[in-house]
Amino acid sequence: MSQTAASLLFELGTEELPPGALDRLSDALASGIVEGLDQAGIRHGRVRALGAPRRLAVHIEEVAVTQPDRAFERRGPAVAVAFDEHNNPTRAAEGFARSNQVSVEALERLETNEGAWLVYRGVDTGQATADLLPAIIQRALDALPIPKRMRWGDQSTEFVRPVHWVVALMDDAVVPMEIFGVASDRQSRGHRFHHPDPVTIARADDYEQALYRAHVVVDRHERREQIREAVRGEGERLGGRAVLDDDLLDEVTALVEWPVVLSGSFDETFLRVPPEALISSMQGHQRYFPVRDVDGQLLARFITIANIESRDPARVIAGNERVIRPRLADAAFFWDLDRKKPLSDRLDGLEQVIFQKSLGSLADKSRRVAGIARAYAERFDTDPDTAAHAATLSRADLLTEMVGEFPELQGVMGRYYAREQNESPRVADALDEIYRPRFSGDAIAGSPLGQLLAVAERADTLMGIFAIGKAPTGAKDPFALRRAAVGLIRTLIEGQHAINLAGLLREAAAWQPETLDAEDHVDEVVGFCLDRMRAMALEADYAPELFEAVRSALAPTDIEPLDFQRRLEACRAFTGLSAAGSLAAANKRIRNILRKAGDTGDAPVDPALLREPAERDLHEAVQSHTAPVQDLIERSAYTEALARLAELRAPVDRFFDDVMVMADDDSVRHNRLALLGALQSLFLAIADVSALPEPG
């Protein structure tokens, strides 16, 4: 390590941190310290955010040991007022010199367009980084995203958990500071049980190895990967595959410092309960990893991660098996109890559960969704009565004991209970599919009925919440309307449903309470959905110009997400053609010519007024392409339509090379504008290709 830079280590030792907050706090602490270093002009190298249940740590390489010196210039009074008529310094000059602790003779002059000024130029010597770190680190800690802070002992300071030790080193030197009443040193702590004695950190770069010897894996990413591989391997040893849920992995990683894999079993009679319920119980209550066999069936086994290497693992496993039994017994009890009461008998109870104060109960929402579903059933190849019946039942499982205990099973349990009560498989599956996609990357509903309910559900939510004035603002989206809009759009596109967005939302608006004037908000919701479509397109690597080319060619009332997506794909394919750049430029030129001429170009072309060969050729080309292109457009074959229009490149180029559009003869001029309007209309029927990027 050079003498001008050193490795920085900061570790804050605490009581066990909230597992759901560890990653967020660790990253925020590192970001805050880096921000402080950057603001102070202190260069640094690689940054690592470390953390374990009892500690937050940051390790930064190649931190400059001092700030750089910084030249400065302070402007004083104008020379005209700094000296009198005898060139003696006035009080203004003397005061400015005194404020800079120099003589008037040490001041310099600055000539500007506004006149001459006295200036003092100097150099601020950079401070030692070690002197600046206490304030930098304290600011970073104060800015951590901690929703609820606590006090401990007789301290007046507050933090997420009581603080017990602070390590602050630059290479091998302790950086003196006091954090939450605790003085910094080089004494960390190891594993609470395997190594309860202090751990001396000789140098900042020794930190991870020193803690590893003390049974602490302090790199949370390394610890997570250790757990993942250990659980995967144990699942294979048990003859199956472990269910590796990312959220559970994160939580377990934040709970242990020294992961040790163990596995146990439970009574196979519990396997009569739907596997999702058993998995929710194991993951949510016990933080166990379930195991499936090679066919995907749940095994009566589980995997757990301990935070200690026990001398009697069998005893630990027996304890885990004893704890899980009553949890699974509860799930079995709920399963048996819920099946005694049909879903249809629970509908009256939905009248008492408020969805939203201004939008009524869950029963009201189910009726609205049923109405929308009935209206659009045939568009989804579904029987209207079946659609309305499924929509009516869709929330009944919310009143079951199982969903009350495991809210994440909403819809899933509705499917199981519906099958048990002899509902048709289509209806039963739709009770689960109405919620899909549940999260980013989740698949849409698999059946037409499920897709219909998913669309109706989201259309109702969007219109209702916008109508009561609760549209998302900034990062706040308490009703998850962005997710609802994306789910609606994805279902229409991936389900291949040609549904007009404004028409669907007007139908949803018609079912809202009359006092809300929901139809007044249809355009607003269409715009909101278009914004989501734009974000989806950008995420899928469509250039912004492609999206705008399609959007500008369609009125908001004409938006069909499936049709929009097909046009978008066609534009991307078109930009790959050699003629694309020339035709985009030509369409841009046509748009500008028509705008400046004040002519819409929608008059019919008179062939008798076509005087130049180039304009006759273009007219003939437009005429010969119009019918086949319109046929392709009617079949939504936009890619093929734009490929046909690309054939117009040569006659378009010749026209602009040989023909003066703005002829002196009014009739000739208007006829040429009409020809350009006809050409432009062919493209605009698909997209505004003038918005596409031209080749560089």
Q: Name the E strands within 214-256.
A: 241-242
Segment 252-255 long-range contacts (CB within 8 Å, at least 24 positions apart): 252/227, 252/287, 252/305, 253/22, 253/220, 253/223, 253/224, 253/227, 254/17, 254/19, 254/20, 254/22, 254/23, 254/51, 254/53, 254/220, 255/19, 255/53, 255/287, 255/305, 255/307
What distance in Å separates the CA atoms of residue 325 and residue 384, rounded to the nearest whole number? 45
**CB atoms near residue 236 (< 10 Å):** 12
What distance in Å separates the CA atoms of residue 613 and residue 651, rounded to the nearest whole number? 10
Sort 532 into a burial class: Cβ within 10 Å, 0-12 / 13-18 / 19+. buried
pLDDT value of residue 602: 78
| Low-confidence stretches of the chain (pLDDT beneath 70) | 1-2, 600-601, 694-696
Residue-wise pLDDT for 276-322, tens only, equals: 999 999 998 899 999 999 999 999 999 999 999 999 999 999 999 99
Amino acid at 28: A
Q: What is the dihedral sign for C-alpha 25, 30, 31, 35?
A: positive
pLDDT value of residue 696: 47
What distance in Å separates the CA atoms of residue 230 and residue 317, rounded to the nearest whole number? 16
**CB atoms near residue 639 (< 10 Å):** 17
Helix pair angle (22-39, 129-142), 10° resolution: 140
Q: Are residues 675 and 569 in contact, defined by beta-carbon separation less than 8 angstroms?
A: no
Minimal CA–CA distance to 141: which of 184, 92, 86, 193?
184
Q: What are phi and psi of 591, to 5 degrees?
A: -60, -45
Q: What are phi and psi of 179, to 5 degrees?
A: -120, 120
What radius of gyration, in Å, describes the C-alpha atoms of the chain? 35
Sort 334 into a burial class: Cβ within 10 Å, 0-12 / 13-18 / 19+. buried
What distance in Å separates the CA atoms of residue 673 and residue 590, rounded to the nearest whole number? 9
Helix pair angle (220-237, 246-253), 10° resolution: 120
The CA dihedral of 37, 38, 44, 45, to the nearest 10 degrees, is: 120
What distance in Å separates the CA atoms of residue 629 and residue 679, rounded to the nearest whole number? 12
Task: Tell me the C-alpha to C-alpha distance, in Å, between residue 174 and each of 133, 202, 257, 292, 391.
Answer: 12, 10, 25, 51, 66
Q: What are phi and psi of 384, to 5 degrees?
A: -60, -40
Is the bond preceding residue 437 a cis peptide, omega within 30 degrees?
yes
The CA dihedral of 679, 682, 688, 689, to the nearest 10 degrees, is: -70
SS3 497: coil
Structural tokens at position 47: 């940054």
What distance in Å separates the CA atoms of residue 591 and residue 692, rounded to the nearest whole number? 13
pLDDT value of residue 1: 41
* 3-state per-residue secondary structure call for 86-132: CCCECHHHHHHHHHCCCCHHHCEEEEECCEEEEEEEEEECCCEHHHH
What distance in Å separates the CA atoms of residue 125 and residue 305, rounded to the nearest whole number? 53
Structural tokens at position 33: 């310290």
Q: Which residues, including other chains, have CB under 8 Å from residue 680's CB and lie 6 or more apart?
A: 587, 590, 591, 594, 601
Q: Are residues 343 and 309 in contact, defined by beta-carbon separation less than 8 angstroms?
A: no
All structural domains of the chain: 5-67+128-213 (3.30.70.260), 70-124 (no CATH), 221-338 (no CATH), 354-541 (1.10.3210), 579-691 (1.10.730.10)
Amino acid at 618: L
pLDDT value of residue 536: 96
Structural tokens at position 586: 């030509």
